[in-house]
């Protein structure tokens, strides 16, 4: 299957990143290269580092962007940006498009979709790390319930975790439909009928986040990205669910106001200075027109941070 991922909020991202001739940018979640192509088109002669955990994404994007001599593909996790980019590099802008790509969802054998029966994998980088099946068959019941609650706001977390443990005693979970069966057994049919969308979507989201360790290192990663920006450089972050968005919002808030002094202290004595400021009024949403043409953009939230001084 060809790697295709419709870039979300392309107009807004270009507007905030402001790519121009000779610029230096990094796309930490390269995917199929849709956003990167737009940035490179605007730069003309600049440099763009494209990072992705998925070898299939790197291969597809490299083919798509081979006409741009300033494009450099890097296999790795954007959490490790300081180790992945050349030492001493300063960026005019960075982009992170969090979550799973359309290609990964639409490729059954990757195991991200609850609509197709396939091996339980869910790794962003299928060449390393624990698969979803390995994690689900060994994770502690309380830890699984915690992941469901924290990463998906799942009200039935304890029940799903208990059923998981019961089911895997009979037979290890191997496929996506095995996991769907756990959710179906845990959530009453009457409740599932009233839900908008499939009841398993939250569980799949939580498992994917846990397997790929997407949330815990995020705050440090965002600080690292901002530290690599030139003064006035901007970091754009696209999220697709409230857990990711909350983490980005909180990280940007700390960067903008890092002071840890008591609220009633007459003067700041902690010495922590703002790294910059959040733009766009906090959260930028896709237009109704984009949601109509690209339904997968409906839950997207764009947050932008500009590094100081101003």
Task: Evaluate if residue 310 carries a pLDDT over 60.
Answer: no
Task: Evaluate if residue 5 carries a pLDDT over 80.
Answer: no
Unique residue bearing structure tokens 């339980």: 120
Instruction: Single out the residue of 93, 117, 123, 113 nearest to residue 17, CA to CA.
Output: 93
Task: Evaluate if residue 223 carries a pLDDT over 80.
Answer: yes
Distances in Å between the alpha carbon of 74 and those of 10, 59, 122, 255, 310?
22, 10, 21, 27, 31
Q: Which residue has the higher pLDDT, 23 or 267?
A: 23
Residue range 85-106, pLDDT digits in tens? 999 999 999 999 997 777 777 7
pLDDT at res. 304: 98
Rounded CA gap, 208 and 185, in Å?
20
- CATH architecture, domain defined by 110-212: Orthogonal Bundle (1.10)
- Determine the Cα angle at 231 with ends 226 and 235, to 5°: 35
Roughly what angle, to the nearest 10 degrees, separates helices 141-152 and 201-212?
Answer: 110
Q: What is the CATH number of domain 10-99+215-307?
A: 3.40.50.150
Instruction: Single out the residue of 28, 30, 32, 29 nearest to residue 3, CA to CA.
Output: 32
Task: Evaluate if residue 167 carries a pLDDT over 60.
Answer: yes
Output the average pLDDT for the chain.
93
pTM of the model: 0.90
Task: Evaluate if residue 77 carries a pLDDT over 90.
Answer: yes
What residue spans define the domains of the chain? 10-99+215-307, 110-212
Residue range 23-57, pLDDT digits in tens? 999 999 999 999 999 999 999 879 999 999 999 99
Task: Evaluate if residue 14 carries a pLDDT over 60.
Answer: yes
pLDDT at res. 133: 97
pLDDT at res. 6: 79
Band the pLDDT of 2: cuts 50, 70, 90: low
Band the pLDDT of 143: cuts 50, 70, 90: very high
Rounded CA gap, 221 and 66, in Å?
28
Residue range 190-210, pLDDT digits in tens? 999 888 889 999 999 999 999
Residue range 278-307, pLDDT digits in tens? 998 889 999 999 999 999 899 999 999 999
């Amino acid at each position: 299957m060809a790697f295709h991922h419709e870039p979300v909020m392309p107009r807004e991202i270009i507007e905030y990143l402001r790519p121009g001739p000779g610029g230096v940018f990094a796309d930490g979640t390269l995917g199929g290269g849709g956003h990167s192509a737009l940035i490179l088109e605007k730069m003309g002669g600049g440099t763009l580092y494209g990072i992705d955990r998925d070898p299939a994404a790197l291969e597809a994007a490299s083919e798509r962007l081979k006409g741009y001599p300033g494009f450099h593909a890097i296999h790795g996790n954007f959490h490790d940006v300081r180790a992945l980019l050349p030492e001493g590099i300063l960026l005019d802008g960075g982009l992170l498009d969090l979550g799973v790509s359309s290609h990964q969802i639409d490729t059954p054998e990757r195991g991200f979709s609850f609509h197709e029966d396939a091996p339980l994998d869910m790794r962003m980088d299928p060449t390393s790390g624990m698969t979803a099946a390995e994690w689900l068959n060994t994770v502690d019941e309380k830890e699984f319930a915690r992941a469901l609650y924290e990463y998906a706001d799942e009200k039935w977390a304890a029940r799903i975790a208990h059923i998981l443990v019961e089911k895997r005693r009979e037979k290890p979970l191997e496929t996506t439909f095995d996991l769907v069966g756990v959710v179906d057994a845990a959530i009453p049919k009457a409740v599932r009928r009233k839900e908008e969308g499939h009841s398993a979507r939250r569980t799949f989201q939580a498992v994917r986040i846990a397997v790929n360790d997407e949330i815990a290192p995020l705050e440090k990663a965002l600080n690292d990205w901002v530290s690599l920006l030139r003064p006035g450089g901007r970091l754009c972050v696209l999220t697709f669910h409230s857990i990711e968005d909350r983490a980005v919002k909180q990280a940007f808030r700390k960067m903008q106001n890092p002071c840890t002094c008591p609220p009633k202290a007459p003067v700041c004595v902690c010495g922590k200075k703002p790294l910059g400021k959040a733009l766009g009024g906090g959260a930028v949403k896709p237009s109704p027109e984009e949601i109509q043409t690209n339904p997968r953009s409906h839950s997207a939230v764009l947050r932008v941070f500009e590094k100081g001084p101003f």
